[in-house]
Chains A and B, each alone.
Chain A
Amino acid sequence: MAEDLTSFRSQVQSWLSEHFPASLKANAAGIMESAFSENGLSSDAEQWRQDLAEAGYGAPTWPREYGGAGLSDRDAAVLSSEMAKVGAFNPIPGLAGMGVTMVGPTVLEYGTEEQKLRHLPGIASGQVRWCLGLSEPNAGSDLASLTTKAQDDGDSWTVNGQKIWTSGADRSQWCGALVRTDASAKKRDGISFLMLKMDQEGVRTKPIKLIGGASPFCETFFDDARGEKDDLLGPLNDGWSVVKRLLQHERQSQTGAGAPSGGSGGGLSLQDAAKKYVGTNADGELSDADLRARLTSHLMAARAHAMTGSRIRAEAKGKVEVSAAASILKNSATLVAQARSELTIEMMGNQGLGWEGDDFTAEELATVRGWLSGKAMSIYGGSFEVQKNIISKNILGLPETTQKG
């Protein structure tokens, strides 16, 4: 086993040295920014995407016949650690929107062979971008009360309704949408999961500008939009089971301890940035004793979070299973990331209050924007409160309330 791993590692190393262009080194943000600009990916980046896709490394654990490389979780971990070592970055999950992290794994589980062959390779190569039509204006945390309707017209579905918080809908080619297919059934029983083409007359998107200034989410309107019969994922009227699984994959993808975008001051550690802005006393301690104590608690929480991810992976002997642990990690990742932003803004003082302009460094401005956009983290993918419901009911086995309301 160890030998296999070593030989796979050296195989990856030589593949990287042959294919990864030096011009892209440690430039994940730049690659993703160019991906959505008018000119698109640079020629180096486009070549790199093609090479990754050809090797199946865009979605490395997926089977080869669907565009993956058929790697075990262990080998996939080796691949990603070797890529990190040389400053390489896999842009395909970002290019595919919700495709690699959420739609793909769900199609693998629920899709027909024909659906897998038709949809997965485009995702795994980063050429087809997906969004998800789940929430509606009146169906947020209470997702099952959604009202977007799909009517069976014999040879197709006709879809009418409105979705909201559809990430990247304005630049996606496909949407995985939850639609009501049986209005007479109980809330959760009349819902189906339908895959819809975005480029059609009946679909309109409108970006929503957020407090951080960016517009990562849209409102999406379906007005007699057409869905194909063979694009129903999973059983008719059992879309709730499909989406529950999909949301587990979502939580799974949100369990890392990554801070929201925006740094803390020129690539410094948080404590060094604090020293730079706040200053130190004669003993080399941060001058603001109260901030020092809170910063310490935060760093401890961040470390506890990181160690918990490692521990759960070690216990599972591989990647964290799509499981109950994801709710714990999603909430703690969010708490850590949001606290980091709040502390960074606080330690920067006046420099942490800029919106734009030359009086603030790019780092400072990015921190402010990241602090604001990071507020989404405890709302999307199931809010703090929804995750706590999941923990109390599914992990701890506490009963549902019988109270009205």
Chain B
Amino acid sequence: MAALTEEQTLIRDQARAWVTEQSPVSKFRKMRDEDAPLSFLEEDWRAMIDMGWSGILVPERYGGSGLGYLTLGIVLEETGRQLTASPLLASAGIGATALLVAGSEEQRQRILPGIVDGSNVVTLAVDEGPRHNPRQVSLSALPDGEGLTLTGEKVMVQEGVAATHFVVATRTSGQPGDEGGITLVLVDAETEGLSRTSLSTVDSRGYANLSFSGVKVGHDGILGALDAGYGPLDKILDRACATTAAEMMGTACQAFDMTLEYLKTRVQFGQVIGSFQALGHRAADLFTEMELTRSCMEGALQAIDADSDDAAELCSLSKTRTGEFVHHMSNELIQIHGGIGMTDEFDAGLYLKRARPLEAAWGNQSFHRDRYARLLGF
């Protein structure tokens, strides 16, 4: 753990206690089995709002606490441990970030207080195909005197069912692949011409595909300057990666703890299996990887809070390394548990099935390795 402030330590302890007692993974399982319509439990989301978590990124003048990204990451790591489902990351993390990075004062005042009190769920819609590629945005937004008219598709939008607003990456000029000509647009989810389809995904979380057919948005929905949305989008995506990485870290750490516990208790050949060197060394490798990964995850969040020049590099580093670790760890979780690990009754599968969507979100490991290399100039 990074050297935390007293306040951060309190928040972490509170989050750990709440998640363990009020929202253990058994609750996520129940939500999955009962097919909750929003793919999260509203009472849990309400409890998080009451604890102030939805306002961690939002400055005090808009109703939040403005404690920053590391603090949000500390909480997300705890919710990631028990797979607690909620719009905390998608809306209070990434949605709020979009407004803070690209929104005007008027837009922030209009939207942010609602993110904090839970009346708004704001989520980012970027991808249009199977792979994350923000330059390829093609959803068209044609300007006219009134504003913009949006036509096209967005896929795999996080919390797309619960969302009250979408921040949509649109193309206002240029060709898919161009950085220029992208514009960020805030769209009310109930606008005429916008339809959404709920997806059934391996992680049982809430995603939707969005279809825009002639959706009208006024000038007051444009976030930032027309055609110049790529820069802010890149910055928003960095923050999305760094916060997603915190959740991934929690998920992977819990998988590690479960595996270590099993190594200490499962008996075969008359002894606990953790005494076998082949398994002890794998545990040592996983532990080493966990420590190295944690440094990247925390380093990226601290770089964002400090507005460091290397924040973009560190966000790609963090997303790649946490992706690699949660991938490896979730596979080892199953393998080391053996037969029980394959059963639906045991929790290992839930962690494996959450790991892959998190890896894919906002660019998988290979996307971010490529980006890191470009940022370093090769």
* A→B interface (CB under 8 Å): 271-272, 274-275, 280, 284-286, 292-293, 295-297, 299-301, 303-305, 307-308, 310-311, 314-315, 317, 325, 328, 331-332, 385, 387-389, 391-393, 395-403
Contacts and interface: CB of A to CB of B under 8 A. Distances in A.
A317 B2 CA distance: 11
Most chain B C-beta atoms within 10 Å of own C-beta, residue among A305, A308, A310: A308
Contact of B296 (A299, A304, A396): A304
A304 B280 contact: no
Contacts of A303: 296, 317
Query: Which of A328, A398, A399 is packed against the most chain B CB atoms within 10 Å?
Result: A398
B280 A388 contact: yes
7 contacts: A271-B373, A292-B373, A300-B296, A307-B299, A398-B263, A399-B271, A402-B270
A395 B295 contact: no
Interface string B356-378: 00000000001001101110111
B282 to A, nearest CB: 9
B2 A314 contact: yes
Contacts of A401: 271, 275-277
A292 B317 CA distance: 15
Interface of B: 1-3, 260, 263-264, 269-272, 274-277, 279-281, 283-285, 287-288, 291-296, 298-299, 317, 320-321, 366, 369-370, 372-374, 376-378
Contact of A308 (B269, B275, B295, B366): B295
Given A303-B296, A391-B288, A400 B281 contact: no
| 8 closest residue pairs by CB, A with B | A392-B280, A391-B284, A307-B295, A388-B284, A398-B274, A308-B295, A304-B292, A401-B275
A151 B317 CA distance: 57
Which among A389, A399, A402 has the highest number of chain B CB atoms within 10 Å?
Answer: A399
Contacts of A280: 378
A282 to B, nearest CB: 14
B284 A392 contact: yes
A95 B131 CA distance: 57
A398 B275 contact: yes
Contacts of A271: 373, 376-378
Nearest to A308: B295
A273 to B, nearest CB: 10
Contacts of B299: 307, 311
Contact of B280 (A301, A308, A314, A393): A393
B263 A274 contact: no
B378 A292 contact: yes
Contact of A389 (B274, B280, B292): B280
A396 B378 contact: no
B292 A305 contact: yes
Contacts of B281: 385, 388-389, 392
A286 B372 CA distance: 13
Contacts, number: 127
A402 B292 contact: no
Given A274-B378, A392-B281, A328 B287 contact: yes
A304 B285 contact: no
Given A293-B366, A300-B372, A304-B317, A391 B292 contact: no
Nearest to A401: B275
Which of B295, B298, B377, B378 counts the most chain A CB atoms within 10 A? B378
A317 B260 CA distance: 29
A49 to B, nearest CB: 37
Contact of B260 (A285, A314, A396): A396
Contact of B283 (A296, A315, A392): A392
Contacts of A314: 2-3
Contact of A402 (B3, B275, B298, B320): B275
A392 B260 CA distance: 10
B10 to A, nearest CB: 18
Nearest to A278: B378
A332 B294 contact: no
B314 to A, nearest CB: 8
A395 B290 CA distance: 13
A402 B271 contact: yes
A299 B372 contact: yes
A271 B378 CA distance: 7
Nearest to B288: A328
Given A314-B2, A392-B281, A285 B291 contact: no
B378 A286 contact: yes
A323 to B, nearest CB: 12
Given A304-B295, A305-B292, A307-B295, A299 B284 contact: no
A292 B256 CA distance: 31
B14 to A, nearest CB: 21
A113 B240 CA distance: 59
A400 to B, nearest CB: 6
A300 B321 contact: yes
- Residue of B263, B288, B374 with highest tally of chain A CB at under 10 A: B288
Contacts of A395: 284, 287
B353 to A, nearest CB: 26
